[in-house]
Structure 1
């Protein structure tokens, strides 16, 4: 399998990541003979949204936004003959904050080459918010809040559908991040039901909206998951629908670039992103 690029990469601007500088990621990419990378730092959370994680460290600070953009643009010029560097974000879809998210994309979209739309936050039955992938312990608390594992899965996939369908303007990301992130703790908190029919509906919507999927290797290294996001069954269904699969390591340190790509089946056709206009 020939890997051209890694299109889901975090940086030192991520408060829950490493201190590796972007240039370290670039040098690692060059050592791997990559032709292209996308920096997809967690976009600042919407104005007015309170990060539900204990350390409030889910996303980059609004105060760092301009420096993030300037740094990548500088590195683009510095390495333009060696590596294609895309400026991107991993944008959270948060139910109830669509207007604020669209406002961010409208304001900064002209700087964006490539981006990911992900669901990390769910609205609870009492209209509060939780982060589904923070920790095993927090997921256990979320089960108590929702009443069952399956209730969380149902809410997650409902939220994914809203992310696919919502109007976030001309700069809406074209790629859905780690579609089965809800399965991060499935080995310890398994769902009772299967979601095959729901996934078929979701893939149909993705195909209709001409979106692509983040083929995310990070789940392979999560002790309670041990699978690609999405899993092989869903990958095969996506291939049949000609949904592009864009490889991403979700790396939060430079030595994580392309980690796990060698575990992708050779039958998976890897795609480059659909770049934002």
Structure 2
């Protein structure tokens, strides 16, 4: 089986408008037999997107249309490729009740889901930690240091893994070292080995899957997968189920670095 389990879509407000068919046809041509569209789920009720364009999430109406369109495409391509209807769900500290309510109402529509952390809470406000290097560096000054941001990120990842979000909670943890995205921009060497190992061991203990995400390899300030190769090896040793994800936000990025990751 050749699988890509983390793919965005024309419903991504900050991505391309490449059609579902462009992604699907490329996947088929590349020999993939199983793909998951994991578009950013709607924001939890009451959460205000802190990004300038407020384009981090689908709306509820878009989500319902997204699901219906993918159901039609499942029928159209059922003899050629398995298409899973999924979401990338944000864990946002303080919005667990709203997130659980969303999953309770809509979880039955999903074939797949990823639980990720993009937003960090500090002094009552939220920052999208992977938005830009400028935002990251400014946030580090606010928090006190780059190392403190790393610690806050891993603390939030651990909260996401431990959170009770109901029966429909995603069982795959998305890009758990996303905090490395701007490591070549802030130019500090942060030893986060203990935190990464703690996260992986907790994933193993919970019986969750790991999103082995190749997107960081194409980010100019990162140049490594999420997580890096050494931790993919550790995850295998811990017998964590691994799911490759290209995290493609346009069809041209689909399956990027698949062969490198699979080695």
**Higher helix fraction (1 or 2):** 2
Structure 1: distance between partners of 2:198 and 2:246? 26
Q: Which moved more, 1:135-144 or 1:152-161?
A: 135-144
Structure 2: distance between partners of 1:155 and 1:192? 16
Q: Does 1:142 align with 2:139?
A: yes
Structure 1: distance between partners of 2:221 and 2:260? 18
**Offset from partner CA, 1:184-239 (integer Å, 9 cap, x none):** 00012144541222222222211110001101010000000000000012111111
Q: Which moved more, 1:231-240 or 1:44-53?
A: 231-240
CA apart distance, 1:262:
2.1
Structure 2: distance between partners of 1:109 and 1:217? 26
For residues 25-174 of structure 1, the aligned pairs below 5 Å read: 25-124=23-122, 126-174=123-171
**Relative to 1, partners in 2 of residues 1:29 and 1:95: Cα closer, same or farther, differing over 3 Å?**
same
Structure 2 residue runs of 5 or longer lacking an equivalent are none
Q: TM-score, normalised by structure 1?
A: 0.92
Structure 2: distance between partners of 1:144 and 1:7? 35
| CA RMSD across the alignment | 1.1
Q: Which residue in the other structure is 1:182 paired with?
A: 179
Spell out structure 1 runs of 4+ moving beyond 3 A: 190-193
**Relative to 1, partners in 2 of residues 1:81 and 1:249: Cα closer, same or farther, differing over 3 Å?**
same
CA apart distance, 1:63:
2.3
CA apart distance, 1:134:
0.4
**Relative to 1, partners in 2 of residues 1:57 and 1:137: Cα closer, same or farther, differing over 3 Å?**
same
2:177 and 2:196 in contact (8 A); partners too: no
Q: Which residue in the other structure is 2:239 paired with?
A: 242
Structure 2: distance between partners of 1:254 and 1:197? 36
Structure 1 residue runs of 5 or longer lacking an equivalent are 267-277
Structure 2: distance between partners of 1:47 and 1:193? 35
Q: TM-score, normalised by structure 2?
A: 0.97
